[in-house]
Amino acid sequence: MRSFIVVTGANEGYFALASDLLDSLRQSPTEIPFGVLDVGLAPAPRNSLQARGAIVAPAKWDLGGPARCPQGALAMFSRPFLPNYFPDFETIVYLDADSWVQMPEAMAELAQESTKADVAVVPDLHVAFPHLYSPASTLRTYLRATYESVAGKPDTLVDRVTLNSGVFAAHRESIFWRSWQYVLATKTEERLRKVGGDPDYQLSLARPEEFFLEANSFNYAFHTGLYSIRPVASTYNWICEFTMPLYDPANGRLTEPVAPYEPIRVVHLCQAGRKAEFLFDRHGKRHPVSPRWKGVPA
């Protein structure tokens, strides 16, 4: 059995981003195995990824009974079952497809950190994240509302650390996976009962309370004591939606936007990063550099 694999999920709309992620991993002087959970790739993109060495595994509904979501949504609902899709690797390092790796050595670091708890994970905590300073911010209000739909009571992530499920690492035998599977299955069933038990009802990522079922189950399982975490720094999952990184023209790297300007290991674009066409450096000078993989000069 091999040590670890970096896994993402992709459909046709995310193929280009997943391809960029693979390219960014290929900076490594040693091979980093790469897996893709296929949630709607056309044959040509799937073959392209496989030709470049990716292990592509078709996703399925793993929560029992007939599928209750469109194929693209399986990226969320299949994620707690990743060890089943990639059985030849001891540790799964998961990255959302709209991420890319600026420092490939970070993948082995995440795998190593995961040995110190049930899962290595990046809390949404950094001094540069403005929403942390405002309890009434749009983002925290949004998180509160979606989390309450999972917690089933006026509980809130505003008063607790939010664990980001977009980047994490765990050993295949970790209790983390079973805990997450249990909570997601339970909360999904509760959601389906709440909407009336219609057997034809399809869960949709367009509904916030359903889009966040996976992430909030990830958090709920932790906050109810079902698994332990090894927290790692925000540079392992820099969320551009929270605040944009800076560009360092001296070495062509993206850094955190405050001193000591640590280089970012994993850039998580989200919508803000995908749309950005320029970045500032630490002196406030604007550069025509995108935070995307191909937007940063070599």
What's the pLDDT tens digit per position in 251-267?
Answer: 999 999 999 999 999 99
Which of the residues in the chain have pLDDT under 50?
none
In a shared domain, residues 223 and 131? yes
In a shared domain, residues 87 and 53? yes
Six-digit token pair at 115?
Answer: 């040995």
pLDDT at 136: 83
pLDDT at 158: 59
pLDDT at 11: 97
Could you tell me the residue range of the domain that residue 168 belongs to? Answer: 2-235
In a shared domain, residues 272 and 195? no
- Domain count of the fold of the chain: 2
Six-digit token pair at 265?
Answer: 């290991």
Determine the Cα–Cα distance for residues 78 and 34; give it in Å rounded to an integer.
17
Tell me if 273 sits within 8 A of 243, measured CB to CB.
Answer: no
Mean pLDDT (the chain) is 94
pLDDT at 250: 95
In a shared domain, residues 40 and 60? yes
In a shared domain, residues 193 and 171? yes
Q: How far is CA 165 from the centre of its chain?
A: 5
Q: How far is CA 188 from the centre of its chain?
A: 20
In a shared domain, residues 186 and 278? no
Whether this prediction's pTM lies above 0.75 is answered by: yes
In a shared domain, residues 231 and 244? no
SS3 string, the chain, reads CEEEEEEEEECHHHHHHHHHHHHHHCCCCCCCCEEEEECCCCHHHHHHHHHCCCEEEECCCCCCCCCCCCHHHHHHHCHHHHHHHCCCEEEEEEECCCEEECCCHHHHHHHHHHHHCCEEEEECCCCCCHHHHCCCCHHHHHHHHHHHHHHCCCCCHHHCCCEEEEEEEEECCCHHHHHHHHHHHHHHHHHHHHCCCCCCCCCCCCCHHHHCHHHHHHHHHHHCCCCCEEECCHHHCEECCCCCCEEECCCCEEECCCCCCCECCEEECHHHHHHCCCEECCCCCEECCCCCHHHCCC
In a shared domain, residues 185 and 240? no
In a shared domain, residues 29 and 163? yes
pLDDT at 151: 79
